[in-house]
């Protein structure tokens, strides 16, 4: 969608989306090793995870929902983004205030 739309990603987006999908498929050991290499604090949490854990609405519609909307407007599909929005919305609805490990999320998205 980003390529078709001609959007230039800023410096804040370090990982290529295809690389990110590859990384999500890695066993937990490699993910933990990579996190250590990047020196991310083990207790660091994304703003979306913080919202989920607090039972607050997330910004999923403004992030992945927007990508899905752009794709549909361009006659494209963004099935992973669409499904991710549904998963997070369902967690919000059910009041599931928990972390979803990368492998579990990959399985739920059908990208394992």
pLDDT tens across 27-82, in order? 776 666 666 666 656 677 889 999 999 999 999 999 999 999 999 999 999 999 99
Mind spelling out the 3-state secondary structure of 32-66? HHHHHHCCCCCCCCCHHHHHHHHCCCCCHHHCHHH
| Helix orientation angle between 102-109 and 28-37, rounded to the nearest 10 degrees | 120
Mean pLDDT of 82-96: 94
pTM: 0.67
Q: Which CATH number fits the domain that encloses residue 19? A: 1.10.1040
Mean pLDDT of 97-108: 91
Q: Which domain holds residue 103?
A: 2-109
Query: What pLDDT, on the 0 to 100 scale, is given for residue 111?
Result: 87
> At residue 3, does pLDDT exceed 90?
no
Q: How many domains does the chain have?
A: 1
């Amino acid at each position: 969608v980003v390529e078709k739309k001609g959007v230039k990603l800023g410096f804040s987006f370090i990982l290529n989306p295809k690389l990110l999908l590859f990384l999500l498929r890695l066993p937990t050991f490699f993910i933990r090793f990579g996190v250590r290499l990047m020196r991310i604090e083990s207790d660091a949490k994304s703003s979306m995870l913080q919202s989920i854990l607090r039972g607050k609405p997330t910004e999923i519609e403004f992030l992945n929902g927007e990508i899905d909307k752009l794709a549909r407007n361009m006659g494209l599909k963004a099935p992973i983004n669409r499904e991710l929005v549904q998963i997070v919305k369902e967690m919000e609805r059910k009041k599931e205030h928990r972390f979803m490990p990368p492998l579990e999320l990959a399985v739920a998205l059908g990208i394992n």
